[in-house]
Amino acid sequence: MKAGVKRRLGNWSNVAPIVIGILVFGSIWGLLDAISVGALFSHIAPSLRSHQICICPLTVAVFGFFIMAMALAIYKKPAMLIGIGIVAALFKLLNFAILPLPVIEGQVAYQPVVNPALATFMASLVFALGATLLLNRVESSVPIRVGAGALAGFLAAVAFVYAAFYLTHTHPLIVDTPWQFIAPLHGLATAALGAIFFPLGYLAGVKLRESASSLLITRPRFYYVGAGVTVFCLGISAVALMAAL
pLDDT tens digits, residue range 126-146?
Answer: 999 999 988 888 888 899 999
For residue 213, which amino acid is it? S
Averaged over 90-113, what is the pLDDT? 62
Mean pLDDT (the chain) is 77
CB-based contacts of 61: which residues, under 8 Å, 6+ apart?
A: 123, 153, 156, 157, 189, 190, 193, 194, 197
Bridge partners (DSSP) of residue 176 are none
Residue 55: helix, strand or coil by DSSP? Answer: coil
Residue 103: helix, strand or coil by DSSP? Answer: strand
pLDDT band of 211, cuts 50, 70, 90: confident
Distance in angstroms (rounded) separating the CA atoms of residues 185 and 130: 23
pLDDT of residue 145: 93
pLDDT band of 164, cuts 50, 70, 90: confident
Bridge partners (DSSP) of residue 10 are none
pLDDT of residue 44: 53
pLDDT of residue 173: 67
Residue 108: helix, strand or coil by DSSP? Answer: strand
Distance in angstroms (rounded) separating the CA atoms of residues 49 and 45: 6
Instruction: Name which residue leads in pLDDT, 66 or 52.
Output: 66
Torsion sign (Cα): 108, 109, 112, 115: positive
Cβ 146 vs Cβ 199: under 8 Å: yes
Q: Strands 107-108 and 103-104: what pairing?
A: antiparallel
Cβ 213 vs Cβ 9: under 8 Å: yes
pLDDT of residue 112: 64
Q: What pTM was estimated for this model as a whole?
A: 0.81
With vertex at residue 46, the alpha carbon angle to CA 38 and CA 93, rounded to the nearest 5 degrees, is: 40
Burial class (CB in 10 A: 0-12, 13-18, 19+), 69: buried
Averaged over 57-83, what is the pLDDT? 91
Angle between helices 65-75 and 15-42 (to 10 degrees): 170
Burial class (CB in 10 A: 0-12, 13-18, 19+), 189: middle
